[in-house]
Structure 1
Amino acid sequence: MNPSVAPAASSLRVMSYNIHHGNPPSKPELIDLEAIVNTIRKQTPDLVALQEVDVHTERSGAFNQAEEIARRLNMHYFFGKAIDHQGGEYGVALLSKYPLSETVVHRLPSKAETKGEPRVLATAKVTLPDGTTLRFGSTHLDAQRDSVNRELQIREIVRIASGEPLPFLLAGDFNATPGTGVIHLLDQAFTRTCQNCAPTIPVLKPTKAIDFIAYRHPAGKFSVASHRVIPETYASDHLPVVAQIQIRK
């Protein structure tokens, strides 16, 4: 793969998208990865955090969804496995127009008695054409009604981020809305690209914002130029989120 060389960026277009393993909710038996690819392509992002990504599973087929989406978009990628699933793997992924290095899958904690599905934070170092470097992460927090695991998981993400010297962009499905303890903990360490955030689920008549992009940076490195929820209602059960982030040189 030879991703195209993009011009030096004074801003980054960042997208977060829970892709529901490429399954349109209106067609339970169908995998329509092209609908996901087209949704991403229309937004021309520099960086994309994906959640609910299949690799070689029975339900999706014998291929790596992260790799295939990246190939069709001519982007770099990194897949972070959360669990083994249906003969393959399932987790989160990063897509980038720019080179990725120092890729890591951080296992996130949960209380054993809850029997929560294992969750991860996948991160990579991104090097922009002008030599600027940053850390980019994708995560998908616990979905149980009780927030105990989500709070443990966001605390661990904050701990990881607090030891990171690079500017940190974090995106994902937090399964928590603004005003909850989980998002309060996120907001103590990161700045979300929206404050009065438009809802992202369900895709038809959405009522809850649970998908966010956030950043942590030294001395005003980042600022938000725009934040949008994209009204794409076919491809997934979540609406994608896109933010334009300015980078101070």
Structure 2
Amino acid sequence: MIRWLLRWGASLGIGLATASAQAGTGEVWGFVDGAGVAHVADHAVDSRYSLLLKGGEADANDRVPGKTMSRNRLLTWLEFAPEVKAVQPWLREAEQATGIDAELLKALITVESGYKGDSVSPRGAVGLMQITPATAQRYLTREETTARPIDEHLRDARSNILIGARMLADLTRRFGGIHLALAAWNAGEGRVRRSNGALPEIEETRSHVHMVLELYWALLQQRQLGRARELRVAGPVADTKAGTP
């Protein structure tokens, strides 16, 4: 379901914030028809509609560690914060190198470190993407390893992001989906294998996967803004149509 929803979201081509405002409530329901028209509403008009965005403020379990802002304020912060803008070119570079969306990397960094590049976890995970030296050694080339110590790679934002992107691409290939790759990132590969293709029954891991995917979904929609050929909003503004130039 999660993988289908992400593919659906990539094709939707509308901004969640725009749709939510036009629909008039905090919830957004929608679908894309065969002609490429995105239909959104503030309720499930019929069985074709799926819930895209829940209403209300994010609860405590949805908050990113170290940040007290709500989901919408967090997305605004991600759009304008200097520390986020500073690494954007490296996110795009990593996307080109590994095929992992920059928005997914952006969401993962938000949850892992809150863009504090000097973060070190109690388990020794370092930098923006919170990677341990042992893990980094698996994803650095021989030339990169001999060029400078692993710790320096992890404390360098560009290198940290590239290592993390390589790791996430590898986990996604081996586990067959983003949600399981994120679970393996958080809980370890062994625990995910033992869960037989499901998310491990670990509250921290499930919360981690949920937060990253929710941010990824919203960031992906921002990137796709305007790519739908047409937008139709049902409900109080049922006749509204928004075409792209």
Task: State TM-score, norm by structure 1.
Answer: 0.25
Q: Which has the higher helix share?
A: 2
Q: Which has the higher contact order (CA 8 A, sep 6+)?
A: 2
Asked which structure has the greater CA Rg, the reply is 2
Higher strand share: 1
